[in-house]
Amino acid sequence: MNLALSTPILPAGEAAVAAAAHCLREGGLVAFPTETVYGLGADATNPEAIARLYQAKGRPAFNPLIAHVGDLEAAQRIAHFDAQAIALAEAFWPGPLTLVLSRTEGCKVADLATAGLDTVAIRVPAHPIARDILRAFGGPVVAPSANLSGHVSPTTAAHVQSDLAGRIDLIVDGGAVAVGVESTIVGCFDAPMLLRPGGVPRGEIERVLGRALVQPPDDADKDTGQPLAPGMLASHYAPRTPVRLNANRIEAGEALLAFGSGAMPGVDAAAAVMNLSAHCDLAEAAANLFGYLRALDARGARAIAVMPVPHHGLGEAINDRLRRAAMGRE
Ligand code: TXA
Ligand code: MG
């Protein structure tokens, strides 16, 4: 066994929380569960720790990180909240919503974490273990999804281990996550903007705002300079196997990512079949999405054929991740 390739995994509990907080204080990297996906945490005020985090993920340094904090009060120390932002925070925190806001003068989040932008992305996670770690540590924790850059996001500790073992200091295992897609990101600009669809459906946010969210400009989706949401990198969520969307039949040797109970011509010749939700439950489909993409990616199929998923509610986030997966890497 190669010790350099292993990272300790602790089951969620008091000891793991204390070890995680200690590790963060020492500038270490800790993977922990949030309700959306597993995050890879570092002390948001420690530029060396953040540099190691970018290195461990192989992430382009211009892609800024989300600062995770325990509550709205902590968030207001690092960013300016107007009435709209407060309404969103009160409606959805703790939970799968990230707000992009202008930094305060005293904001201690390192420039390296915000990629030099004068805005900062903030979220208050709902997962009890994430909350315990934030409380024990006592400061903002930056945490991108705990996967290698370009891979699909991890929804179990085993996914984290398969991407990052030996590259990070600790993994806290809290079992499978509940939501399964990353947080929704809203830019709190003059006109609030949907920077990334995610765990809170657009409609629920628009109901609180009393207005429609605007779309980012088209060129924000390109891998250039400083786009509005650099995480919109077209190739962000790609498995290695090609992904074919809106399949209405299966070609021999393809794997099927199904949705619903409809019949699929050619399914008998499929290399593997997994169903995101047989009874068309979009929340169940979101929770299964990344795990099933990983599992089918490991089957050596010639492609992963994906049945259409309806676009309402959480379907917008699911279809966004599937579209990125289909674009492939590079
Ligand atoms: O659910 C989640 O949000 C998970 C869990 C771990 O909290 N985190 C996550 O982080 O998905 P990450 O790093 O994979 O995605 C963060 C996204 C990226 O698309 C990044 O470009 C965007 O947030 N972002 C961060 N700061 C930003 C800013 N100031 N302006 C615009 N986009 C920003
Ligand atoms: Mg990510």
**Which residue, 136, 130, 165, is CA-closest to 148?**
165
- CA 153 to centroid of ligand 2, rounded, Å: 6
Atom of ligand 1 nearest to the CA of 119: 29
Instruction: For ligand 2, an ion, list residues with CB under 5 A.
Output: 145
pLDDT tier for residue 227 given thresholds of 50, 70 and 90: very low
Atom of ligand 1 nearest to the CA of 185: 23
DSSP state for residue 256 in the 8-state scheme: E
Closest listed ligand to the CA of 229: 1
Percent of the chain with pLDDT over 70: 91
Please give the Cα distance from 231 to 321 (Å, whole number): 12
Note the helical H segments in 93-169: 111-114, 128-137, 157-164
What value does the mean pLDDT take over residues 35-46? 98
Q: pTM above 0.85?
A: yes
Instruction: Give yes or no for residue 66 having a pLDDT over 60.
Output: yes
Pairing of the two strands 243-244 and 304-306:
parallel
Instruction: Give yes or no for residue 312 having a pLDDT over 80.
Output: yes
Please give the Cα distance from 35 to 78 (Å, whole number): 23
pLDDT tier for residue 228 given thresholds of 50, 70 and 90: low
CA dihedral 72, 187, 25, 57 (to 10 degrees): 150
The per-residue pLDDT of the chain, averaged, comes to 91
- CA 54 to centroid of ligand 2, rounded, Å: 12
Closest listed ligand to the CA of 66: 1
Atom of ligand 1 nearest to the CA of 96: 1
What pLDDT is recorded for position 299? 95
- CA 265 to centroid of ligand 2, rounded, Å: 34
CB atoms within 10 A of CB 38: 31
Q: What is the amino acid identity at position 135? A: R
What value does the mean pLDDT take over residues 86-104? 98
